[in-house]
Amino acid sequence: MRIGILGSGKGSNFRALAEAFQSGTLGCEPVIVLSDVENAGILDLAKSFDIPGHFVAPGPFRTKMAPEAEAELVQLLQEAQVDFIVLAGYMRVIKESLLKAFPGRIINIHPSLLPNFRGLAAWSQALEAGVPQTGCTVHLVDAGVDTGTILGQSIVPVLADDTAESLHARIQVAEHELYPRMVREFAQGLQKPA
C-alpha cells in the first residue's frame, strides 16, 4: 500500500511513520509528502528519508486550500498512485475534491479524545476544561472538522502541574505510538478482499 502524507509543520508524526516504515513495522510505504507551507520542516524530513516532497501554494484562504490548489494536491497524489492519505499536522480543512478523489481513504490524528475538544490547540482546551484525562484520536476525515469515524484512541492523564506545553508533549509521545499502529491496521483493512 502506498500512502501520501499531507503536513504543515515540523513533521513529528511523519517522522514516527517514516521510522516505522524503515523498521518494517508500518506495513505500507510513504511515497510522497505535500505541504501547504513552503519552508515546513516536514519537507526537510521527507528529503532526509528520500521521499519526494512538494510545496503546494495554498491560495488566499487561511483555513482551506484554494480550489485550484486542492486540485493540484489531488493530481500529485494520483500521479504518485497513493492508496490512501495520512494527515500529519496538516492545518487545513479537507474539501470536497480531495474527499471525492479518496473516499473513506483519508485519516488524521487529533490531540484529544474526540468528540471532545475539536479544532485548534485541543490540549489547551482540555486544560481549561479541567478534565482528568485527554489523549489522541485517529479518525477518518470527512467534510466536518474532526468529526469523522473514530478508528482508535490513546489516553493521556492530565497532571495537576501540567502546562499546555507539558501536556502537549505527552500527547505527542502517545501520538507517535498510536499513529503508526493505526495506519498499519487501516492499510490491512483496505487490503482485505471485499
Q: What is the pLDDT of residues 3-21, one digit of tens each?
A: 999 999 999 999 999 999 9
pLDDT in tens, the chain (194 residues): 999 999 999 999 999 999 999 999 998 999 999 999 999 999 999 999 999 999 999 999 989 999 999 999 999 999 999 999 999 999 999 999 999 999 999 999 999 999 999 999 999 999 999 999 999 999 999 999 899 999 999 999 999 999 999 999 999 999 999 999 999 999 999 876 65
What pLDDT sits at residue 194?
55
Active site residue 110: yes
| Residue 21 near residue 45, CB atoms below 8 Å | no
pLDDT of residue 193: 63
- Distance, in Å, from the CA atom of 31 to the CA atom of 14, rounded to the nearest integer, reads 12
Strand order in the sheet with 133-140: 53-55, 29-35, 2-7, 84-87, 106-110, 133-140, 150-157
Residues 17-53 have pLDDT tens digits of: 999 999 999 989 999 999 999 999 999 999 999 999 9
CATH top class, domain 2-191: alpha beta
Q: What are phi and psi of 101, to 5 degrees?
A: -70, -30
Domain boundaries, the chain: 2-191
Point out the catalytic residue in the list 54, 110, 168, 176. 110
Q: What is the pLDDT of residue 191?
A: 79
Give every CB contact of residue 177 below 8 A, 6+ residues apart in sequence: 16, 154
pTM summary value: 0.94
Answer yes or no: are the C-beta atoms of 183 and 28 closer than 8 Å: yes
